[in-house]
Structure formats: structure tokens, C-alpha cells
Amino acid sequence: MYEFNITLSGSFNDVKETLLDVLMQEQLGIVSEVDVQATLKKKMDLSIPSYQILGACNPKLASQIIEDEPNAGVLLPCNIIVREEIPGKVVISFMDPVAVLGLSDSEVVNNVARVAREKLQKVVAKLAETQV
């Protein structure tokens, strides 16, 4: 599968803020952010629930990939979708780095992918703990 996800209760903004805090605990920062909801409204006058794509990155891991296989940068960063399913329920979907970076034949790249997946799975586990 190409992703794994978790559904959390709360407002979109509160869930996103919690996600950002937990990502930082795992040394993952956000390097890009796309507000799909705003873009579709502006470009097509289409109204959808809150939907954002975040690009998460750990500079040390990214540099290992780029040093070993410079063109593998097209597979970076790790995308995370935060979307409101219904009011009060927010789905966070994480790109599986092993599935995406597994497109490379490089063992270095594949090892980094496994480390990145472990970090993201820790994020999911910590997010689940916030719902207790």
C-alpha cells in the first residue's frame, strides 16, 4: 500500500497543530504546504472540506538520499494529507516512504525509507495517544 492513516477527533486546526507538534518530536519539519481547499475554491469555485497537503522532511535523511542518488529527490518530501472527513473528524494520511522510495534500486535510499517509515509510524502512535 502507498499510505497509512489515522482518524482523529477534533477541529481541523487543532488536529493539524497537534500533528505539527508530534512531527517535530520526530525531527520532521514541514517544507511545503498546499491548501487544496483554498486552491479549488479560487481556481474552480469548488467548495470542499478542509484539505491540506504537507511535505514533511528530515534534512539528515534527505541529504543521505540526495548524496547517494541525486535524482531520487523527485520522490521527496514525504507527503502528509490532513483532511476533514466530517465536522469533528480529521483524517491524517501519511505517504509510505518504503513504497515510494522503494522505486529506487539503491540500498542507501531504501534504508533511509525504512527509517523514515519508522519515524512516521511513531507519529501515528503518538497521535493515537492524544485521543485517549
131/50 Cα distance (integer angstroms): 20
pLDDT tens-digit profile of 16-51?
A: 999 999 999 999 999 999 999 999 999 999 999 999
Q: Which pLDDT score, from 0 to 100, does residue 76 have?
A: 95
Residue 27 maps to which CATH number? Answer: 3.30.310.70
Average pLDDT for the chain: 97
CB 118 within 8 A of CB 31: no
User: At what angle are helices 59-68 and 107-129 packed, to 10 degrees?
Assistant: 160
The domain in which residue 44 lies consists of: 3-129
Count of domains for the chain: 1
pLDDT computed for residue 1 by the predictor: 87
Residues of the chain with pLDDT under 70: none
